[in-house]
Structure 1
Amino acid sequence: MTKIVVDPITRIEGHLRIEAEVSGGKVTDAWSSSTMFRGIETILKGRDPREAWYYTQRFCGVCTTVHSIASIRAVENALKLKVPPNAELIRNIIIGIQNVQDHVIHFYHLHALDWVDITSGLKADPGKTAALAASLSDWPLNSATYFKGVQDKVKAFVAKGRLGPFANAYWGHPAYRLPPEANLMATAHYLEALEWQKDVIKIHAILGSKNPHPQTFLVGGMSIPIGPDSQNALNADKLETIKRLLAKAQDFVEKVYIPDLLAVASFYKDWAAIGGGVGNFLSYGEFPDPLSGKQWIPPGVILGKDISKVLPVSQEKVTEYVDHSWYEYPGKQGKGLHPYDGETEHRYSGPEPPYKNLDVNGKYSWVKAPRYEDQPMEVGPLARVLIAYASGDKATQETVNAVLKKLGVGPEALFSTLGRTAARGIDCLLIARQTPKWLDQLIDNIGKGDLRIHNGERWDPSSWPTEAAGYGWHEAPRGSLGHWVKIKNGAIENYQAVVPSTWNASPRDAKGLRGPYEAALVGTPLADPSKPLEILRTIHSFDPCLACAVHVLDPGGNEMVRVKVL
């Protein structure tokens, strides 16, 4: 038996360490550890709950919008505030394009290099690459001249030793399978996606005043004014610009991202049986309809990979354990606390967190262990797609079935690393096609003369009850995000956020049940334990964001055992 340490895992947000036991060429056990401390919930105590969203979006430099909306919804839930239709639609558009941009960035810039060998693409025939790309879609850049230009650009970087993000990787690893032409095509689209995402996210600048860290969220609605004829408001010109950018986003997803995803996946079908994880899935649902109140993405729970039944979600069934986390619940070890009663300020009082090797039988992570009815749950695009599929959503079923047919695999393939990666693309495609419809609803509503954007009926704290509690749920790109707030005498008494990567990166709980990362790694084959590319594939398929799960660097962070990774 061999024990390996991958630390830090890069191409993620934050600090993540994986320790794994390997025997017979496969991972037999694994432990997920975050090496940062989280503290923003403590900072919020005593503050005005109406400004909490502005602080919580600083949990992370990437996931800013998601914490804003979850925080806003938590306070609105506590104060029983109903949001005007225009505000709900604007929020849906902001959230929608955030998801689309995030998924594209993840596929190309955080996950693709687990499957794509950049150096192999330098040997490709640009003419054959163009033919391959043209067989997949009618994207206008599918020409031999274009791919030759990309190839020459990358070769020039290599010649000068300026490889940038491509400098540190397992090039030539035996687990890479794409032919040179597919590698060159993916490399070209990697570079295209960098430019594309800078353009489409301008929607956040129009509706949120800036990106990241949008400025226009507000308890009770939005603060952006609507005025069809005003240059200082959301007017006809700005709405037309948003429509153009949404069309550009959808076009890239349909003609570049999805074809690339299917092309890459076709060479890695064995990964449809690797990385299944805990088999339990949770989604809070997302994109409320301002008229019906129903959510476009349905909420639900699936247990034991049983897609014949979707269970309802109840916030009362969420708890967090710290038995293997560097926190303490004084007098409550072995018990899970509901987020309303969650404690973050109780630091670990034992010896300094050991970084040479984790104390896997004790405390080994700054991430807590969230559980739903005492079960570990996977959250994220795979959970959303499975629950929507099992709930009978027609668009989801048609898209999933088309992808499975294209790849020649059955529904069981979804419970895997490959399924997780494919589900992200499906999630992105569905949202990219739906977001323009919310814009059309907004334009239609404004055309009818409805310019309402904010409900201020409970804005004055003197109208609040002495004590109130609320929760705000959001399906962030990475999965189910929940904020819980307790308000007393107009100020925050307690605040807890249970984020997607807390669910997925959780350590073991009081019963010794593995978290989703840990469970998904068990059984993963390794061609070369000194170059654990396969571990990166499964972990990156979750799109970790440890900056959301933890927020302040631990002051005692010592040099750790490292494996060279990109």
Structure 2
Amino acid sequence: MAGCKPKQAPAAAVAPGKKIKVAVDPVTRIEGHLKVEVEVKDGKVVDAHCFGGMFRGFENILVGRDPRDASQLTQRICGVCPTAHATASVRALDDAFNVKLTTNGRIARNLILGANYLQSHILHFYHLAALDYVKGPDVAPFIPRYSNPDLRLDPKTNQVGVDQYLKALEIRRICHEMVALLGGKMPHVQGMVVGGTTEIPTADKIVGYLWRFKKVKEFIENEYLPLIYQLAGAYPDLLETGKGWKNVISYGVFPLNDEETEFLLKPGVFTDGKDYSLDTKKIKEYVRYSWFDDADTGLHPSQGRTNPKPGKKGAYSFIKAPRYNNKPHEAGPLARMWVTNPELSPVAQKAGFKRMRDLGEKAFSILGRHVARAEEAYRVAKAIEKWLTEIKPGAETYVKAPVPKEGEGLGLTEAPRGSLLHYVKIKDSVIENYQVVAATIWNASPRDDMGQRGPIEQALIGVPVPDPKNPVNVGRLIRSFDP
């Protein structure tokens, strides 16, 4: 497992019943800055804290600017999934500008975001998580790494994993080209704007996207998915580890009709074992344990404020704690696939699972999250195949809309990592308030005002740590969320 050694690395075996703290700082092979501290007793995690140590402040940067700047600037929040921030931002602006997309504009946006989804999922497994299970050669980027005795793949399968790691770099490049064909460039697409997209899809561009896409689809079906299920077979205990709260949330993504009432991956909530319709009014952000002003706790994003208070007593993160109906909810591929419960790939069906919920409790686990992500990549690829037959060469993808003097908009989508919300309020034709509830904020949040752990913190409880010097399973669990 490539990454930094934990700051506290006891040299001797820990006495039974004794608690020790192990800090992994930073958690490597993730996108962004994260420290995780776990308390270990009798070889298992008994408590956990996620520390988000970076204040970004994009909400404050946007105040007073032209609203159309938002979709460009907020993409800089993340270099891995900028198209998701672009999508949430333009959806908020569409709402505030009261503009309705053309059919071609809707499909073009889906193709841009869809290509980035495939790139992101392939990136996550191969280049961020696979080295938790696959042993590479003793050269960078495969080293430095923890001493990991728990590598169970036979030499032949392990070599397949290493070969796919390298091939995935090329597949990701192809996905970036697909995004750039319709979005202008990647990362940070220029062509996704309020009212649609700026690039008219010509026949040449559609064909160029298609032949690139075929290579990506073949990789997902013939290499990515089979390897994931081989891992699940080799590590059955990791299908029982890291369950967390087992509450999930999805805003819905990839609209299938122009009214945007139907989605490829549906909006919905699963709380305490029951399904519910999504009600955005029930989303609130808490900051008791975050370095933000306590006066702004428990607010819906439309009333939200971003007032940092570094050094606040009792706080330990620059991540806020979003909650749905006052309860923690996991976001991401597992959440979307659980809510939608679609038919799975032929690889899954061969293994005896027809739909996502057929996995039952195993879905809420370290490897269950990897299975969900790979299956979602398969589902998005099948949808892209259909959208390529629906998009019309030369048809308009953009509807011009003047900047309103006043307006308010809510933009919901799903980043590859989870539920993403952008909110904008316009006054005197400039941004008066802008709020972002990013995907990883759901999962890597600290405790809330009620004392409830965030989803990653909760999922870490019970994770085995036989060797505190090499907390392999802690890293596996964190990366399964793709923070």
Same fold (TM over 0.5): yes
Normalised TM-score (structure 1)? 0.79
More moved, 261-270 vs 377-386: 261-270
In the alignment, residue 328 of structure 1 is paired with which amino acid?
Answer: D
Pairing of 1:314-325 with structure 2 (within 5 A): 314-325=279-290
CA contact (8 A) 2:232 2:239 kept: no
1:204 paired with 2:204, answer no
Pairing of 1:94-493 with structure 2 (within 5 A): 94-119=112-137, 158=138, 163-171=139-147, 173-225=148-200, 234-291=201-258, 293=260, 294-304=262-272, 306=273, 309-330=274-295, 335-348=297-310, 350=312, 362-389=314-341, 393=342, 395-396=343-344, 402-405=350-353, 410-442=359-391, 445-446=392-393, 451-456=395-400, 459-461=401-403, 464=404, 466-493=405-432
Normalised TM-score (structure 2)? 0.92
CA deviation string 1:519-566 (max 9, x = no partner): 00000011211100100000000111xxxxxxxxxxxxxxxxxxxxxx
Provide closer, same or farther for how the CA distance between residues 432 and 198 of structure 1 changes in structure 2, counting only shifts above 3 A.
same
Provide closer, same or farther for how the CA distance between residues 279 and 242 of structure 1 changes in structure 2, counting only shifts above 3 A.
same
Provide closer, same or farther for how the CA distance between residues 410 and 339 of structure 1 changes in structure 2, counting only shifts above 3 A.
closer
Corresponding residue to 1:84 among 102, 108, 130? 102
C-alpha separation between the residues in 2 aligned to 1:397 and 1:318? 33
CA deviation string 1:49-72 (max 9, x = no partner): 122101100112222111111100
1:548 aligned partner? none
SS in 1 for 2:482: coil
C-alpha separation between the residues in 2 aligned to 1:350 and 1:201? 41
In the alignment, residue 198 of structure 2 is paired with which amino acid?
Answer: S
CA contact (8 A) 1:86 1:453 kept: yes
CA contact (8 A) 2:111 2:179 kept: no
More moved, 338-347 vs 417-426: 338-347
C-alpha separation between the residues in 1 aligned to 2:246 and 2:252? 19
C-alpha separation between the residues in 1 aligned to 2:45 and 2:268? 31
In the alignment, residue 44 of structure 1 is paired with which amino acid?
Answer: L
Per the TM alignment, residue 317 of structure 1 is displaced from its structure 2 partner at its CA by 1.1
Per the TM alignment, residue 349 of structure 1 is displaced from its structure 2 partner at its CA by 5.7
CA deviation string 1:120-172 (max 9, x = no partner): xxxxxxxxxxxxxxxxxxxxxxxxxxxxxxxxxxxxxx5xxxx111121124x
CA deviation string 1:179-211 (max 9, x = no partner): 222211101110111122112321112111111
CA deviation string 1:262-296 (max 9, x = no partner): 11221001111110111110000111123453112
Aligned residues: CA RMSD: 1.9
SS in 2 for 1:284: strand
CA deviation string 1:230-275 (max 9, x = no partner): xxxx322221111111111110000110111111221001111110
Per the TM alignment, residue 490 of structure 1 is displaced from its structure 2 partner at its CA by 1.0
Corresponding residue to 2:451 among 475, 490, 512? 512
SS in 2 for 1:118: coil
CA deviation string 1:412-443 (max 9, x = no partner): 2111111111100110111111112101100x
Task: Structure 2 unaligned segments of length 5 or more: list them.
Answer: 1-18
SS in 1 for 2:294: coil
Structure showing greater Rg:
1
In the alignment, residue 460 of structure 2 is paired with which amino acid?
Answer: L
C-alpha separation between the residues in 2 aligned to 1:272 and 1:455? 47
C-alpha separation between the residues in 1 aligned to 2:31 and 2:352? 30
C-alpha separation between the residues in 2 aligned to 1:380 and 1:435? 20
SS in 2 for 1:310: strand
SS in 2 for 1:196: helix
SS in 2 for 1:31: strand
Per the TM alignment, residue 403 of structure 1 is displaced from its structure 2 partner at its CA by 4.7
Identical positions, percent: 42
SS in 2 for 1:61: coil
CA contact (8 A) 1:94 1:207 kept: yes
CA contact (8 A) 2:250 2:268 kept: yes
Provide closer, same or farther for how the CA distance between residues 118 and 398 of structure 1 changes in structure 2, counting only shifts above 3 A.
closer
2:10 aligned partner? none
